[in-house]
Chain A
Amino acid sequence: MKKKLSRTGLIEQMLNYKYIYLMLVPGLLFLLTFKYLPMYGIQLAFKRYMLNKGITGSPWVGLENFRYIWTEPAFWRAFKNTIIISLMKLGLGFPIGIILALLINELRIKKYKRFLQTIYTFPHFLSWVIVSGIVFNFLGNTGAFNSFLQTIGMHKINFLMNKSIFRYLLVYSEVWKEAGWSTILYLAAIAGIDPTLYEAATVDGANRWYKIKYITWPGIQNIVVIMFIMTVGTIMVAGFNQVFNLYNEVVYDVGDIISTYVYRISFQQAPDYGVSTAVGLFNGLINFILLMLANAFAKRFGNSGII
């Protein structure tokens, strides 16, 4: 119900809601301080930062920082790695959640199903710091998995320091940590499917495969599309926490992503804040565009999207 209000009507209405506005104050104050105020510093992308002059007083340098990035191989390496790692996670990791959900749904032993789900979802609640500790212990050079390989007569593999393996290690650890959690959405969608559809299909003599193909899959298709689009939208993110806790100098070539690169150049000796900010802004703008596009696409599929 929206009525056109005269100015006095609007003020009166706002006064009516004065306590509601009061409730918004803490949340908005938080957003303003920690989300919007930092945006003032974005101007550093076009400045040469000088410690004694601060953000406002530092001199403008136009696009110099961006020109520098353009010729910086480490930046392009991080840019390329970010996209490759994201695409690998999307291509190899994303379908596993769906397949896992479909398989869990087909499992008939209820108690065992619950037990397995309990195991699958647990790692989601751990930080990447903890997970990295577990990964190092398990896959390290002297770890359990290599010891197992030797027991069965195979050679050790240095999973953590091998350039051709490291990206797969990222995909694997991501699946290990998050695949179980991602099934929850799909399983919730499956739970919402009308059970009489399955009963009717059984009466008609449909086998398991037909039921998956014509009932279960269409039932989760929408949520799969949404999740896919939103994942594509975050392609330039690739996961700072994960990479930062798992990588090491030996695998920078294949593992350094934009966010870890920004972190390193920002906190190295004698950092150039202008360049760091410029990289951050560049990444942030691409992110913004991708997310807006993803959101628009998600809306087209009949869902509300985020906005």
Chain B
Amino acid sequence: MKKRKFNFVDLIILIILTIFGLAVLYPFYNAILVSIVPQHVYAASPFMLWPDEITFNSYKKVLSDPAILNGLKTTLIVTILGTAYNMILTILTAYALTKEIPGRKLINYLILFTMFFSGGLIPYYLLIKNIGLINNILVMILPMGFNIMYMIVMRSFFSQLPTALEESAKIDGANDITILFKIILPLSLPIIATLSLYYGVNRWNEWYHGMLFVNSTELMPLQLVLRNIVQDANKFLQGNTAAVANVKTFSEGIKMASVVATMFPIMLLYPFLQRYFLTGLTLGAVKS
């Protein structure tokens, strides 16, 4: 097909999309700038297009803050163990549900019902308390078993694998567990990598369970530590005079350095996350 000429409407579209792009990008860019300039540059004008002067003081403070380092430790544990736990539950459940076992329909309903109805905050809180998970790192791992959408994506992937290999293995006397680990999983590495990444990001972003169920500062996840830092900024913005009086350090710079540092791992992983956008991950979830 012949290439069409770039006309006026194309230009308008280009401009609108560029403006939206800048509207998304600039707040990030500004946060990064604020995190690397010294206080007097920020005070002169927080609206910057480039850094007039660069310093890593804010980062030095953030990266030597024991609360941040503790949070990082907790979050790394939660992310690694949590993702492994998520994947084990997701794979086992998804694979089992590709089989025409008696009771499958009931199990499907049991799973889906939880998307529509839950006990609510207080019953959940009391349960967690009763099973002794308060102030336990497991509270940020165990209650997030598998994401139903991700499980459905995995199930669709499994069910479109060719069954011939499975059948011949069965004839050779392999049981279902062997088949899953020896035959199915090696064929499923791309989807395993994708879902692990998505789960990993979710675990990295964990703060809610930490806020509800953890009160020892030792066990606070990174995002909760960040939330405390940022919400302090919120008070500062409200003109809380006590907070204003106490500002000796460049608090906004430290806040943005914490924000940027916390999202840095996601920035690193982003190209991999993005690779799977159009492979039908989300579409698959909605269709099935």
Contact = CB atoms under 8 A, between A and B. Distances in A.
B127 interface: yes
B93 interface: yes
B124 A31 contact: no
Identify whether the interface residues of B are mostly helix, strand, loop, or mixed: helix
Given A21-B101, A26-B88, A160 B118 contact: no
B157 interface: no
A41 to B, nearest CB: 3
A41 B119 contact: yes
A223 B176 CA distance: 37
Given A108-B10, A134-B27, A140 B176 contact: no
Nearest to A127: B205
Contacts of A202: 1
Q: What are the 7 closest A-B residue pairs judged by CB atoms, nearest first?
A: A41-B123, A280-B120, A38-B119, A30-B145, A27-B93, A127-B205, A19-B176
Identify whether the interface residues of A are mostly helix, strand, loop, or mixed: helix
B80 interface: no
Contacts of A22: 177
A120 B21 contact: yes
A188 B278 CA distance: 6
Contacts of A125: 201, 266, 270, 273
Contact of B114 (A31, A104, A184, A199): A31
Interface in B35-76: 45-48
Interface string B250-267: 001001101100110011
Nearest to B143: A34
A276 B122 contact: yes
A19 B177 contact: yes
Nearest to A188: B283
B120 A284 contact: yes
A23 interface: yes
Given A136-B230, A147-B46, A276-B121, A127 B142 contact: no
Contacts of A242: none
Interface string A131-160: 011111110111111011001000000001
Interface of A: 1, 5, 10, 13-14, 17, 19-24, 26-28, 30-31, 33-42, 44, 55, 100, 103-104, 106-109, 112, 116-123, 125-127, 129-130, 132-138, 140-145, 147-148, 151, 160-161, 176, 180, 184-185, 187-189, 191, 199, 202, 208, 223, 226, 241, 245, 248, 250, 259, 262-263, 266, 273, 276-277, 280-281, 283-284, 287-288, 291-292, 303-304, 306-307
20 contacts: A13-B101, A24-B93, A27-B92, A27-B146, A38-B120, A38-B124, A129-B223, A132-B230, A136-B237, A137-B259, A138-B27, A141-B239, A144-B46, A188-B282, A248-B234, A250-B238, A280-B123, A284-B118, A284-B119, A288-B116
Chain B interface size range: 35 or more
Interface of B: 1, 4, 6, 9-10, 13-14, 16-18, 20-21, 23-28, 30-31, 34, 45-48, 88-89, 92-93, 95-97, 99-102, 107, 109-112, 114-127, 131, 142-143, 145-146, 175-177, 180, 201, 205, 207-208, 223-224, 226-227, 229-231, 233-234, 237-239, 252, 255-256, 258-259, 262-263, 266-267, 270, 273-274, 277-278, 280, 282-283, 286-288
Contacts of A127: 205, 207, 223
A245 B227 contact: yes
Contacts of B223: 127, 129-130
B121 A147 contact: no
Nearest to B278: A188
A307 B146 contact: no
A188 B286 CA distance: 12
A134 B31 contact: yes
B47 A122 contact: no
Contacts of A21: 96, 101
Which of B17, B95, B131 counts the most A-chain CB atoms under 10 A from its CB? B17
B127 A144 contact: no
Nearest to B233: A136
Which of A10, A126, A129, A147 counts the most B-chain CB atoms under 10 A from its CB? A129
Given A39-B117, A42-B123, 9 more contacts: A41-B120, A121-B274, A130-B205, A137-B233, A137-B252, A160-B238, A262-B121, A266-B125, A276-B120
A202 to B, nearest CB: 8
